[in-house]
Amino acid sequence: MRRLSRIFPAGLSLLVVSLALPAARAQQPPILITADLTDAPRRLYHAEVDLPVTPGPIALTTPKWIPGHHMPNGPVEEITGVVFTANGQTLAWRRDDVDLYQFHLTIPPRVTTLHAHLDCIVTSRVSQKLAAMEWETLLLYPANAPVRDIPIQPSLKVPAGWGIGTALTPVSSGSWPVPAPGAVTQFAVTSVEQLQDSPIVAGQYFHEFPLAPEISPRHYVDVVSDQPEDSKLRPAVLAALSNLVREADAIYGSHHYRVYHFLLTLSDVAGGIGLEHGQSSDNGVSEKGFADDMHELRESDLLPHEFTHSWNGKYRRPVGLYQPDFATAQQGALLWVYEGMTEYLGDVLAARAGFETPAQYRDQLAGTAATLDYTPGREWRSTEDTAVAASVVRGNTPWHNWRRGQDYYDEGELLWLDADTLIRKLTANRKSLGDFEKIFLGKGGNTGPLIVTYDFNELVEDLNAVVPYDWATFLHDRVDKINPHADLAGIEQGGYKLVYKDKESATEQAIAAAPGRRFGGTNYWFSIGLRLGSDGTITDVRWNSPADKARLAPGEKIIAVDGQIYSADMLRAAIRAAKGTTEPIHLIVQADSFVSMAEIDYHDGERFPVLERVEGAPDYLDEITKPLTTPEKAPAEEKKAEE
């Protein structure tokens, strides 16, 4: 008999408990929560919560450690207007002295239901025309209990005429997804754990589009926008989304949701986000984020990344990142799998689905690899440490390259590319990382939304099931050790090499035109070692670079280059002019209210990363970006192909 621990290692008991939940929840009355978003344009949400209680002391809590955030940033600071009542009487409460997310109160005799009113001051994800709500902003439930065991039935009220997008199942009668004015939409009973995992988008300009109708379960994209024309997604975007569903189905070979909704907000006001959930994802981009090819390129990996998280991160989750409540600290040691593998798979799926071309994929991969190779902080800090310390690292801070941030994303991308190309190399391209994904992400077959944990040993075991190799050492060497240089083996095994040229790739030019998710202002990073804002303000200096040796610092502002007023073109011209000479680049720099001179001793010209094909080497990188299914084309593309 094959051992069950091999089939469901580390996660079997959790899986069984999860499957038993519906019957367990049926034995106890649920919490009733009604979220009111009618004040969303005023940046206010309201909630009425009825909790089943018994007389005596009780502690209630709001979430602290939000899955997917990797840090304790629950919205307790924004929760206000908290009032508890029972049988028409207001009850006194006191916040816990240590756990500031908890509220203590005493339930009087003969009281079986506690009513709570609370408001939330919303600081992002809302505008005059739309709102996105993660349920933790309004959740209140008994403390110190597993959130998977607490039943709750949600209801929702939105401004008149607004449509609703969510993976929750509506059970109340009435129009859907655009409720009648003043109507309250009731959803099926779920758990506090699953409700937190089921966000809402709502808006005046709402459209829901079905995707890849031949794939089961059903998939949709729910779009809300500030302008009416933006929510009508282009046929090319819808075709790419349908391709994404098909490609994910082909590579993962299983589903762990009953329905899936891409929730998408298009707004310059509501803010950007990419947050994974089991049966949906909360995605926010600029107002014109998918209006044309250039805007779409900047966001090409967003939807594939968050979709992949339904398998990797939500269904399969590192044992330390899953806790029975939202109060216990999450442990980030395996985030290079949770986020890093997702970064790799999301980028590959973006190319396979048509959100970007294979050439654009390679250009962005070159930027990722070069940036990591030019991150001096790797000389003292391992990739694992950036994951373990995920809750305290921050992005885009001064001296970020020396400090390091959430590098487990991009380090993980290179690591899993290395693993993918190595598997192909060891098996003469008969197998790939896709074979591993079907084993690792497909345990249990098709399921509803569940969480099955894993540890490092299972990861190694599943890789060895694809092709025997010393995978434990492979992973330890790349993750746990200090590596002064980035892992470029996957690129090289894939038939390319990272080189630097004096001209930006077409992809980099397009993305740098309006900084996007990946390149954001790296124009001088690989030459003099500077990142600059549009006005010449230094946002970061590469440690031990020519700019560092010139004693420049983040926060300073370049006001003149070689005797002329600063402009981006002027600095680039100075870098080109200094090539092959001995004359330094002369700068006038303002720091606070003081002005000083600086000289950058650099003479190698402009340098921009690109991938260059190695003739005669296996073209695994090209194989990796080929679709596994027949791509759907938008009507305009089909007509062009016929012509």
Per-residue pLDDT reduced to its tens digit, 22-77? 554 457 899 999 999 999 999 999 999 999 999 999 999 999 999 999 999 999 99
Contact 155, 50 (CB under 8 A): no
Residue 97's pLDDT is: 97
Least confident of 12-21, 369-378, 442-451: 12-21
Q: Is the pLDDT of residue 15 over 80?
A: no
Residue 4's pLDDT is: 28
Residue 632's pLDDT is: 87
Residue 479's pLDDT is: 98
Q: Which residues lie below 8 Å from residue 343, measured CB to CB, with a gap of 6+? A: 301, 305, 409, 410, 412, 413
- pLDDT band at 14, cuts 50/70/90? very low
What's the CA gap between 312 and 183, in Å, rounded?
A: 37
- 113 bridge partner residues: 52
Q: Which residue has the higher pLDDT, 497 or 643?
A: 497
In CATH terms, the fold of domain 527-600 is Pdz3 Domain (2.30.42)
Q: What is the pTM of this model?
A: 0.93
Residue 29's pLDDT is: 97
- 51 bridge partner residues: 114
Residue 518's pLDDT is: 40
Contact 611, 366 (CB under 8 A): yes
Full DSSP string of 232-265: S--HHHHHHHHHHHHHHHHHH-----SEEEEEEE
Residue 172's pLDDT is: 80
Q: What is the mean pLDDT of residues 571-586?
A: 97
Q: What is the mean pLDDT of residues 502-510?
A: 88
Residue 512's pLDDT is: 67
Give the residue among 198, 62, 53, 44 at the shortest CA–CA distance from 115: 53
Residue 362's pLDDT is: 98
- pLDDT band at 508, cuts 50/70/90? confident
| Pairing, β 259-266 against β 594-600 | unpaired
What's the CA gap between 297 and 516, in Å, rounded?
A: 9
Residue 9's pLDDT is: 34
Q: Which residues lie below 8 Å from residue 633, measured CB to CB, with a gap of 6+? A: 239, 641
The mean pLDDT value of the chain amounts to 93
Q: Is the pLDDT of residue 127 over 60?
A: yes
Q: Cis (ω within 30 of 0) for the bond into 67? A: no
Measured CA to CA in angstroms, residue 441 lies from 67, 322, 436, 451, 611 at distances of 18, 16, 8, 11, 31
Residue 62's pLDDT is: 98
Question: Which secondary-structure segment (H or E) carries 19?
Answer: helix 12-26
What's the CA gap between 320 and 335, in Å, rounded?
A: 10
The amino acid at residue 637 is: E
- 3-class DSSP string for 442-482: CCCCCCCCCCEEECHHHHHHHHHHHCCCCHHHHHHHHHCCC
Q: Is the pLDDT of residue 459 over 90?
A: yes
Phi then psi for residue 471, to 5 deg, are -70, -30
What's the CA gap between 196 and 31, in Å, rounded?
A: 14
In CATH, what is the architecture of 16-316? Sandwich (2.60)
Cα angle, residue 535 at apex, residues 531 and 541 outer, rounded to 5°: 20
Q: Is the pLDDT of residue 1 over 50?
A: no
pLDDT in tens, 224-273: 999 999 999 999 999 999 999 999 999 999 999 999 999 999 999 999 99
Q: Which residues lie below 8 Å from residue 626, measured CB to CB, with a gap of 6+? A: 352, 358
Measured CA to CA in angstroms, residue 75 lies from 120, 199, 314 at distances of 8, 15, 21
pLDDT in tens, 476-502: 999 999 999 999 999 999 999 999 999
pLDDT in tens, 289-308: 999 998 999 999 999 999 99
Q: Is the pLDDT of residue 521 over 80?
A: no
Q: Is the pLDDT of residue 338 over 60?
A: yes
pLDDT in tens, 197-207: 999 999 999 99
Coil vs helix vs strand at 411: helix
- pLDDT band at 146, cuts 50/70/90? very high
Give the residue among 222, 217, 276, 214 at the shortest CA–CA distance from 243: 214
What's the CA gap between 343 and 306, in Å, rounded?
A: 9
What's the CA gap between 372 and 369, in Å, rounded?
A: 5
Sorted by where each begins, the domain ranges of the chain are 16-316, 317-504+619-624, 527-600
- pLDDT band at 8, cuts 50/70/90? very low
Q: Does domain 317-504+619-624 have CATH number 1.10.3720.10?
A: no
Residue 509's pLDDT is: 82
Give the residue among 330, 315, 248, 319 at the shortest CA–CA distance from 277: 315
Residue 633's pLDDT is: 84
Measured CA to CA in angstroms, residue 514 lies from 267, 363, 428, 518, 519 at distances of 16, 17, 42, 11, 10
Residue 562's pLDDT is: 97
Helices (H), 55-142: none
Q: Is the pLDDT of residue 415 over 70?
A: yes
The amino acid at residue 508 is: E
Cα angle, residue 550 at apex, residues 545 and 555 outer, rounded to 5°: 85
Q: What percent of the chain has pLDDT over 90?
A: 89
Q: HSE (CB half, 13 Å, CA atoms) of 586?
A: 6
Residue 643's pLDDT is: 41
- pLDDT band at 516, cuts 50/70/90? very low
Q: What is the mean pLDDT of residues 338-359?
A: 98
Measured CA to CA in angstroms, residue 233 lies from 108, 218, 446 at distances of 54, 19, 30
Residue 636's pLDDT is: 59
